[in-house]
Chains A and B, each alone.
Chain A
Amino acid sequence: MLGILKSSVQNTDKDFFMIHNLNQLVHTSTNSCVFCDEVGTTTTSLLTNVLQRIQILYFNGIVITDDLTEAQSLIHIPNAKKRFLYLYHVEWPYINNLHFKHLDSVFLHDHIDLIARSDSHAKLIEQVFKAPKYVMPEWDYNTLIRIDQNE
């Protein structure tokens, strides 16, 4: 069971691909749900379950987030089977007043694994932090199935 943690789902490129691929998952044996506080107007409707973000605290499946803010709470989800940070955009240099402890507590945390979007991102992420466990192009649902089966 995959749980996607986000603060909101909006009409952005990464959310478009997320919705598209989660909708593909509906036709497979891999279950998924989205934990978020807000679903904005999107070009495609989300066909999978949407639960309030707070419900993630009771979730015992595999949690994936592509949101750097939400990533800070990954480690506080007590029953999560696995925790993944999907670095869709390599955006950490743009964090205001960046302190290493912010990166250390998420990107380098032993209980959080990383997912890269491409091989070139994976190379960069491995150099700066640690080797990503998966490379998943644009929320590719085949990779999501693989994560669900492997973990």
Chain B
Amino acid sequence: MKIIIPNVDVSIFRYIAQCLETITNDNLNALYWNSSIVPIIDMFDELNPNVVFLHESQLDKAFEIVCKDFNFKYVVFVSGKTALPANLAQPPHAIIAPPDSKVDFNDHHVICIRPMANIPAVHNAQYVENLKSEILIDTTHVNMNDELLKLLSYLIATHHTKIIGDNALPLHQYMGKVTMIERANFIKSTNIFLDIGTGGHYLDASYLKVAALTTHPTNNIILNFNNLSTLQAHLNTLINKDLVKQQYITQCYSNVCGKNTSYHFSSELFNLIGESDIAKTLLEYMKGITC
């Protein structure tokens, strides 16, 4: 089976590709397609894929042609702001939509993106002495504002803090943009990971058995804060009460491994499009690496 994923800037495609990459074998090939270089018709001519992931912007005339000439399943990622084109030659087998999607896709299978730990990106993380910190903050996909800057100033003044991520900050503790592996090692080498974004990155930390706090909780286990005093209280507990911290880490880890990983999401998606073997393999692999 050939599964094609376009190399577009959609995180969930990368997550799915990384999960599939870990279970590829002679009968299952997951390929990244550089859609800006290879047109969709050429890609189909060369690979004749069984399953294709597409961005909604790729549902064009060329796509209509391949729908007529090839037999395949496809999953489309939508921004959730506009409806799908009405005259699609073939309906999608599933739609991946953001959680705040404003469009109702009643007639289709829809799977909403939710915060998840992207296990392939962090699984091999290692503690690195040079990267160690008491508190780590990732600024990627974070809209910095005065409140957050005040919070960072407090943390820098009171704790051994390191900051990484795509949003550069004029602070000495800002260590720059990081690669996937560097990010994982930074998280593994910190005592407490502070997630100030909306992407649920705290789940990566929870998977790595690192205590995490977030401003945007997605379950009732994760400790969250929306003001400085709550943050101080949580930090005091996690820094000074080791037993509580260990129990908290265990609880968060179980919660992540139970259902909140990219393997769970991918498996759910492949079940939705009738590829239950792949769905099963993904979950088995997940269990294999976490047991």
Contacts and interface: CB of A to CB of B under 8 A. Distances in A.
A and B interact: yes
Interface of A: 90, 92-95, 97-104, 108, 124, 127-130
Given A93-B174, A128-B175, A100 B168 contact: no
Contacts of A130: 130
Interface in B221-238: none
A127 B177 CA distance: 19
Contact of A128 (B162, B177, B179): B162
A150 to B, nearest CB: 23
Interface string B15-50: 000000000000000000000000000000000000
Nearest to A129: B130
Contacts of B179: 100-101
Interface residues of B, number: 17
Interface of B: 130, 160, 162, 164, 168-179, 182
Chain A to chain B: the 10 pairs with minimum beta-carbon distance, closest first: A98-B176, A100-B176, A100-B178, A108-B130, A99-B177, A99-B176, A100-B175, A93-B170, A100-B182, A127-B160
Contacts of B171: 93
14 contacts: A93-B174, A97-B168, A98-B174, A98-B175, A99-B176, A99-B177, A99-B178, A101-B176, A103-B176, A104-B130, A127-B173, A128-B162, A128-B172, A130-B130
Contacts of B164: 100
A100 to B, nearest CB: 4
A103 B179 CA distance: 13
Given A101-B176, A104-B182, 12 more contacts: A98-B168, A98-B176, A100-B175, A100-B176, A100-B177, A100-B178, A100-B182, A103-B176, A104-B130, A128-B162, A128-B173, A130-B130
B23 to A, nearest CB: 30
B175 A90 contact: no
